[in-house]
């Protein structure tokens, strides 16, 4: 018994000492989806984050940044748990989190319970996160899913002459936001979206979805990501699918384009839109691609950074640059730092980024087409670059508010 109580005493003193360590460094917590369907996305996100640290360094004035990474699985619960662990156990002062749409909504809500800390969105892209009841300490330097679709609807209608399309998407907020952006523009131009299918995140068997795809459409839009997208493509190819495809931002992305097997070849010629294009010739982008390629051996990275790597790069960049502007001053509940974050304009590899009054990014969008580089590797080629895309997609805010929040059925297919 004595032994037992001594052990417990030792244990409790361990807890105490853990709480008492003074902070010499600035601690930053990072979350990424290192488990589940979106594992490859999370891993590449972390690569983008590392690339930013290689380029920018970890020093802010005389302070050193320390990063602590926690893993999630794209569910909101796992994100809240990871963020709580980072705040309460690791005592981080700044968070770079999270990766996925619903995680973003949950973390934004959680951020309100810690108004003294700063939350910088890593890559999540649901519209609701910054559009509905935004948290004053939550900053997002990537565009949302709808902004990432700007240009695609018009291009499909005007250039590709698609008139009727159907969509298949994962059943959660980010893909709703993507389809929202697509439908608004495509239907606004005069097109029709005849069928919207939704599959749960983590679906492995797409047989019934593929069987239910309509034949009388010009193209099928795919809003899938990670393992789901690869599974769909494999099964679609086996089922002999031949339709024209259109892709969402994480569908036409290196996470899919550099997957193994030849199912991805179904994507050659697919048009898509995203916050980046693999073959953009802008020197800033090329420099970033080079930095990414130099940072990791070829078998431990994608041929070119994915959207997630870019997002993590941009958000890490904003985090560090704003921190340097205030010289690492996090006093007074980080008031100065938050102000700097709200004002900062970053010269990101995928175009200039600044924030609106909801602390949501206004940035550049790219319409792309998938090409084969001749050696079997697929890349997204720039078709069109659209600068200054804001969250209301150029609509008058009052009109935009009337459309409603993205969901399975919103927006309706009409001109707003």
Partner 1 sequence: MSVTHDVSVQVHRPASTVERPAARGWPDINNPAAWIVAAILLIMPLIANGFFLIEIFATTLILGTVALSLMFLAGYGGMVSLMQLSIAGFCAYMVAVFGVSGNANISLGWPWWLAVPMALTLAVMFGTLGGALAVRTEGIYTIMITLAIGAAFYYFTNQNWAIFNGHTGINNVSTPRFWGVDWRADIPFYYVVLATAGLCYFAVDYISRAPFGLALQGVRDNPRRMSALGFNVNAHRVAAYAVASFIAGLAGVLQVWNYRQISPGSVSVGACIDILIIAVVGGITRPVGPYIGALVFVLLRTFALDFLVKIGLDGNRFRLLIGLGFLAIVFWSSDGVIGLWQRWRQSQLGEANRQGGGRGHG
Residues that bind partner 1 (CB under 8 A): 1, 4-5, 8, 12, 15-16, 18-19, 34-35, 43, 69-71, 73, 75-78, 80-81, 84-85, 88-89, 102, 105-106, 109-110, 112-113, 133, 171-173, 198, 200-201, 407-408
* CA–CA–CA angle 203, 205, 210 (5° rounding): 105
Query: Which residue, 98 or 363, has its beta carbon nearer to partner 1?
Result: 98
Residue 163, CA distances (Å) to 187, 218, 240, 343 in order: 9, 7, 23, 42
DSSP assignment, residue 68?
E
Structure tokens at 370: 């998938």
To the nearest whole angstrom, how small is the minimum distance from the Cβ of residue 200 to partner 1?
Answer: 5
To the nearest whole angstrom, how small is the minimum distance from the Cβ of residue 301 to partner 1?
Answer: 15
To the nearest whole angstrom, how small is the minimum distance from the Cβ of residue 17 to partner 1?
Answer: 10
Query: Which residue, 7 or 387, has its beta carbon nearer to partner 1?
Result: 7
To the nearest whole angstrom, how small is the minimum distance from the Cβ of residue 80 to partner 1?
Answer: 6
To the nearest whole angstrom, how small is the minimum distance from the Cβ of residue 13 to partner 1?
Answer: 8
- Give the DSSP per-residue string, 255-269: HHHT-SSSGGGGGTT
To the nearest whole angstrom, how small is the minimum distance from the Cβ of residue 321 to partner 1?
Answer: 28
Query: Which residue, 34 or 272, has its beta carbon nearer to partner 1?
Result: 34
To the nearest whole angstrom, how small is the minimum distance from the Cβ of residue 412 to partner 1?
Answer: 17
Q: Position of tokens 């002062």?
A: 93
CA 186, distance to chain mean position in Å, is 23
Query: Which residue, 198 or 400, has its beta carbon nearer to partner 1?
Result: 198
End-to-end CA distance of the chain: 74
Determine the Cα–Cα distance for residues 164 and 182; give it in Å rounded to an integer.
13
Cα-trace Rg, the chain: 22
To the nearest whole angstrom, how small is the minimum distance from the Cβ of residue 170 to partner 1?
Answer: 8
Q: Position of tokens 């996925």?
A: 100
Determine the Cα–Cα distance for residues 268 and 250; give it in Å rounded to an integer.
15
- Give the DSSP per-residue string, 139-175: EE-S--TTGGGTTHHHHHHHTS---EEEEEEESSHHH
Query: Which residue, 94 or 199, has its beta carbon nearer to partner 1?
Result: 199
Query: Which residue, 65 or 201, has its beta carbon nearer to partner 1?
Result: 201
To the nearest whole angstrom, how small is the minimum distance from the Cβ of residue 86 to partner 1?
Answer: 10
Of 389, 374, 391, residue with least CA distance to 276: 389
Burial 56-94 (b: 16+ CB within 10 A, else e): beeebeebebebebbebbbbbebbbebbeebbeeeebbb
Query: Which residue, 363 or 411, has its beta carbon nearer to partner 1?
Result: 411
Query: Which residue, 68 or 342, has its beta carbon nearer to partner 1?
Result: 68
DSSP assignment, residue 356?
-
To the nearest whole angstrom, how small is the minimum distance from the Cβ of residue 166 to partner 1?
Answer: 19
- Give the DSSP per-residue string, 233-258: HHHHHHTT---EEEE-TTTSSHHHHT
Query: Which residue, 71 or 265, has its beta carbon nearer to partner 1?
Result: 71
Determine the Cα–Cα distance for residues 201 and 224; give it in Å rounded to an integer.
9
To the nearest whole angstrom, how small is the minimum distance from the Cβ of residue 408 to partner 1?
Answer: 7
Neighbour-count burial of 299, counting CB atoms closer than 10 A to its CB (0-12 exposed, 13-18 middle, 19+ buried): exposed
Query: Which residue, 5 or 331, has its beta carbon nearer to partner 1?
Result: 5
Q: How many CA atoms lie within 13 A of 33 on its CB side?
A: 27
Q: Contact 313/56 with Cβ under 8 angstroms?
A: no
Query: Which residue, 64 or 77, has its beta carbon nearer to partner 1?
Result: 77
């Amino acid at each position: 018994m004595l032994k037992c109580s001594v052990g417990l005493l030792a244990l409790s003193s361990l807890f105490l000492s853990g709480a008492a360590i003074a902070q010499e460094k600035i601690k930053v917590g990072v979350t990424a989806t290192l488990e589940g369907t979106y594992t490859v996305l999370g891993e590449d996100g972390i690569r983008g984050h590392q690339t930013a640290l290689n380029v920018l360094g970890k020093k802010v004035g005389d302070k050193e940044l320390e990063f602590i990474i926690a893993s999630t699985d794209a569910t909101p619960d796992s994100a809240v748990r990871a963020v709580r662990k980072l705040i309460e156990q690791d005592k981080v002062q700044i968070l770079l989190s999270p990766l996925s749409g619903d995680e973003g909504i949950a973390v934004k809500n959680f951020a309100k319970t810690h108004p003294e800390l700063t939350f910088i969105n890593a890559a999540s892209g649901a519209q609701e996160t910054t559009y509905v009841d935004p948290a004053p300490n939550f900053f997002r330097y990537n565009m949302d899913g709808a902004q990432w679709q700007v240009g695609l609807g018009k291009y499909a209608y005007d250039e590709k002459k698609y008139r009727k399309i159907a969509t298949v998407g994962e059943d959660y907020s980010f893909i709703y936001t993507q389809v929202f952006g697509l439908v608004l523009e495509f239907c606004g131009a005069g097109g029709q979206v005849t069928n919207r299918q939704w599959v749960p995140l983590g679906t492995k068997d797409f047989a019934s979805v593929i069987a239910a795809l309509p034949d009388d459409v010009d193209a099928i839009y795919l809003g899938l990501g990670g393992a789901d997208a690869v599974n769909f493509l494999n099964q679609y190819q086996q089922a002999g699918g031949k339709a024209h495809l259109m892709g969402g931002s994480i569908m036409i992305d290196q996470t899919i384009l550099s997957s193994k097997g030849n199912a991805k070849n179904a994507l050659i010629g697919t048009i898509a839109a995203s916050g980046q294009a693999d073959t953009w010739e802008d020197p800033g982008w090329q420099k970033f691609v080079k930095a990414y390629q130099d940072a990791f051996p070829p078998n431990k990275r994608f041929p070119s950074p994915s959207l997630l790597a870019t997002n993590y790069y941009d958000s890490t960049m904003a985090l560090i640059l704003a921190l340097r502007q205030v010289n690492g001053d996090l006093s007074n509940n980080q008031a100065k730092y938050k102000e700097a974050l709200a004002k900062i304009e970053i010269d990101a590899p995928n175009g200039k980024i600044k924030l609106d009054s909801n602390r949501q990014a206004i940035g550049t969008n790219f319409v792309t087409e998938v090409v084969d580089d001749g050696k079997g590797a697929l890349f997204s080629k720039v078709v069109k670059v659209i600068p200054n895309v804001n969250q209301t997609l150029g609509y008058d805010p009052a009109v935009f508010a009337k459309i409603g929040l993205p969901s399975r059925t919103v927006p309706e297919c009409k001109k707003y």
